Chain A
């Protein structure tokens, strides 16, 4: 498999009044052509900042650095090269389609804008492409929709328009930041199926950012769990949900009520304490203050462990609970 996106030691620092906030602390991963990588974590773990950093859309107070940031043959750390890729081969959709679409313009204008910028050609060609894409995402009578404004569409339709807009330039990588969080569950299921079908048809790779573990388990080829700006565990969906190695991953899964597994009305798993502040230097495992299996040497540097495609960063060679179970 060829790596479409290679990220090596990605860091994002944000200047605040009380010091530098290390929002992303040395993230390394790859995305292969056509696969779905889910980045999952709770708010503040740096997953959304990561997506903005990849797209080069960080706010000015944030500073990005990376040992390597490559999209195919393009070096994304070079702003001039990145501009040709962004919104063209590499596109993004956001959580709230109502704010991501400009209310003052009909959706037709917004659909064709990036296409005309990157691909050129006539307006009529762009329009034809827009109609084709709206049809592809399952919007009926697409030609008439072009003149409609965002507020005339329902939430589910708006998200479909966002997806159509993302697909206009025939991208190779789609970054989706919580695209279904604002939607109802029945609409969410439909949008997710649509994304999956399009991905298979067009061979697009997807980075899907979400906090919803159930959703991740259903759509991911690979999962990366983030905590406090860093990766704690990465593996296939089966590995992450079937045999989580990192105490945080396992604790997070135990927090959600799982029909059929969790007894109704029984206390749910919890994680004590709160996410640490990321201002100032962070050493050792950031999860150790909340971890039931923490040892004193967790404060020193913690090794990255691997078993095939399954990677995790922990002092323990396997999840401590599992070690006692199997012993």
Chain B
């Protein structure tokens, strides 16, 4: 027999069509590179995040510096473009590349913070509802139903209209409204896991409910949480752009992609790039995040799809 170490007790017994044993928390590069969507999507998100973090070092100009003499210079590949402003300048003569890089900060900051808040709310509610069931679950289900009956964009519009637009307000509004998907998914998974015997073992060992929820149940929800988080981040970024476009999100002169699109709309027919560049950036980021989320789901899913 060619198996040299047949006595090795680690040999998987020849059972069902054997998939190589996968260990959940060891995500090696060899496995990641089998998922091109994850590599491409994750790579784009990673680069954009780096650019946003190091914006002051990367950006060629001050994004707020206005130069009326150099308004609406086209990007360098058009006639009349200059190497000094690679993506040209906007209607107030500000360097468009610099504004784009600083705008990535706003998009990513709002996307990640809002989803962090939403994730905490949704996961907590879902865990409680799923684990305890009964009345607790009825309350969680009710709250989720109430939340689902509120159209996010309209509620956001109303609140921003009352309290005024700022990054903080946008983050809080989105954070308080986007937890429903977390709650729904976590609730059903937690309910399933709570019936398994390793939870019973922990209870029989005298573990507190808090210990069981955080140390036994939650780690098993990591794959779902990562996937929902990517979807929600992408959607939060789009919503920020929409709110800013409507003038109810980030206020000028802060550079935000949605705001840049909004400000450029009156120049659409004269300086097309002003609207196209932030639009393409926004679409790329959202696409990349979704791509990465798909890849992560394939990578982590227990049936080893893909």
Using a CB–CB cutoff of 8 Å, the interface residues on chain A facing chain B are 14, 16-18, 21, 23, 43-44, 46, 59, 61-62, 228-229, 273-284, 286, 288-289, 299
Contact = CB atoms under 8 A, between A and B. Distances in A.
Contacts, number: 65
B162 interface: no
B102 to A, nearest CB: 45
Given A280-B3, A281-B2, A289-B6, A275 B20 contact: no
A7 B102 CA distance: 72
B8 to A, nearest CB: 8
Contacts of B6: 273, 276-277, 289
Interface in B1-34: 1-3, 6-7, 9, 11-15, 17-20
Given A286-B1, A299-B1, A62 B9 contact: no
Q: Is the interface of B mostly helix, strand, loop or mixed?
A: loop
Contacts of A283: 1-2
Contact of B17 (A61, A275, A280, A299): A61
A44 B2 contact: no
Nearest to B15: A44
B62 to A, nearest CB: 53
A277 B14 CA distance: 5
A16 B17 CA distance: 7
A44 B14 contact: yes
B138 to A, nearest CB: 26
Given A273-B6, A273-B9, A59 B14 contact: no
A277 B12 contact: yes
B13 A279 contact: no
B18 A274 contact: no
28 contacts: A14-B18, A16-B19, A17-B19, A17-B20, A18-B18, A21-B14, A21-B17, A23-B14, A23-B17, A43-B13, A61-B17, A273-B6, A273-B7, A274-B11, A274-B13, A275-B11, A275-B13, A276-B1, A276-B6, A276-B14, A277-B14, A278-B14, A279-B18, A280-B2, A281-B1, A281-B2, A284-B1, A289-B6
A128 B78 CA distance: 83
Contacts of B7: 273, 289
Given A44-B13, A277-B14, 12 more contacts: A17-B19, A21-B14, A21-B17, A23-B14, A43-B13, A59-B17, A61-B17, A274-B13, A283-B1, A284-B1, A288-B1, A289-B7
Nearest to B22: A17
Contacts of A289: 1, 6-7
Contact of A276 (B11, B15, B18): B11
> Looking at chain A's contact residues, is the secondary structure mostly helix, strand, loop, or mixed?
loop
Contact of B3 (A16, A17, A276): A276
B32 to A, nearest CB: 15
Nearest to B14: A278
B9 A277 contact: no
Nearest to A17: B20
Contacts of A286: 1
Given A276-B1, A276-B3, A289-B6, A14 B11 contact: no
Contacts of A43: 13, 15
Most buried by A among B3, B7, B19: B3
Q: Considering the complex of A and B, which 7 residue pairs feature the smallest CB-CB distances, nearest first?
A: A278-B14, A289-B6, A44-B15, A275-B13, A276-B6, A44-B14, A14-B17
Contact of A277 (B11, B17, B19): B11
Contacts of B3: 276-277, 280, 282
Contacts of A23: 14, 17
A280 B1 CA distance: 9
A281 B4 CA distance: 12
Contacts of A281: 1-2
Nearest to A15: B17
A294 to B, nearest CB: 11
A273 B11 CA distance: 10
A289 B15 CA distance: 18
Contacts of B19: 16-17
Contacts of B15: 43-44
Contacts of B9: 273-274
A278 B227 CA distance: 36
Nearest to B12: A277
A229 B17 contact: no
Contacts of A61: 17
Nearest to A42: B13
B14 A228 contact: yes
A229 B1 contact: no
